[in-house]
Amino acid sequence: MENKKELKNWLDNFQLKHPLVIAGPCSAETEAQVLNIAHQLKHTDATILRAGIWKPRTRPGNFEGVGALGLKWLQKAKAETGMLTATEVANANHVSLALEHDVDVLWIGARTTVSPFVVQEIANALKGTNKIVLVKNPVNPDLSLWLGAVERLHTANIKNIGVIHRGFSTYEKTYYRNNPEWQLPIELQNRFPDLPLILDPSHIAGRRDIISELCQTGLDLNYDGLMIETHMDPENAWSDAEQQITPDTLIKIMASLQVRNETG
Ligand code: PEP
Ligand code: MN
């Protein structure tokens, strides 16, 4: 990839703070839930509201998201709070619907990054867009798949690309839900030094109590941002209940973090 330098400019172009904080529920559940959390997040460091509306669940029988209906809720949340909005897209149809509803940030999830044909279809549907497009690492610790997805977006002339580190699945469950394997994103950054790197401590942790320490590690490693799952009533969330935190906890965590001065 040439012109690596241009990649990081979008953080400035969108006037996003350092570190960039993306927060919101794992899943959009109801209109009231989305609007409520958006209004609460206005009082935090978060500038981008995340909410999954198409949820790729590993096994059937779980809540798979409210679908396109949730796009209207995100639009309303943006109109009422001024926050930018972010959602996961897992196919070209999701991309068209998200673009029609003016979602600002589209992210490719870990279960999609593993699939080059799907990533290519998403890249084609996004061709030339000025929206921010973030690529989560693949579920497995394969740097080439992650790089390949970034390259497909770059080749489709998508300018505002970033990556999200959400950890890597392992057969044996350990301290983490998904092992961080910190060396992989570092290697990705070595290849593309100007690609903004965002940490998703929520999916690495799989639990609330270590979100804070993971955020600090990310900032110590000079990550550009954090994506943190946040819910008004985490214990009763419709997905990823164990790892979500309240907006109040988000405020406390952000206040406790040591942020490096340089903007990367
Ligand atoms: C999510 O962000 O809620 C999600 C499904 O993440 P991942 O693709 O990292 O599993
Ligand atoms: Mn989740």
Q: Give 3-28 pLDDT, tens digit per residue.
A: 445 556 788 888 788 899 999 999 99
pTM of the model: 0.95
Residue 125 has pLDDT above 70, yes or no: yes
Nearest ligand 1 atom, CA 164: 9
State residue 6's pLDDT score: 55
d(CA 220, CA 214): 10
Q: Is the ipTM of this complex over 0.95?
A: yes
Residue 100 has pLDDT above 80, yes or no: yes
Q: Taking residues 79-98, what's their average pLDDT?
A: 98
CA of 239 to the centre of ligand 2 (A): 6
Ligand 1 pocket test: which of 89, 111, 179 has the largest number of ligand atoms within 8 Å of its C-beta?
Answer: 111
Helix (H) or strand (E) segment spanning residue 226 = strand 225-229
Tokens linked to 72: 């209207």
Residue 182 has pLDDT above 70, yes or no: yes
Q: What share of the chain is helix, strand, coil (3-state, %, to 5)?
A: 40, 15, 40
Label residue 2 by pLDDT band (50, 70, 90).
very low
What is the CB < 6 Å shell around ligand 1? 26, 52, 109-111, 136, 166, 203
Task: Give start and end residues of each alpha helix (H) in 69-113.
Answer: 69-81, 92-100, 110-113
Q: Which fold has domain 19-104+126-193+209-256?
A: TIM Barrel (3.20.20)
Instruction: Please name the residue whose Cα sits nearest to atom 4 of ligand 1.
Output: 109
Instruction: Please name the residue whose Cα sits nearest to atom 6 of ligand 1.
Output: 109
Contact status, residue 162 vs residue 132, Cβ threshold 8 Å = yes
Rg over CA atoms, the chain: 17
Burial 15-54 (b: 16+ CB within 10 A, else e): ebebbbbbbbbbbbbeeebbbbbbebbbebbbbbbbbbbb
Write the DSSP symbol of residue 180. Answer: -
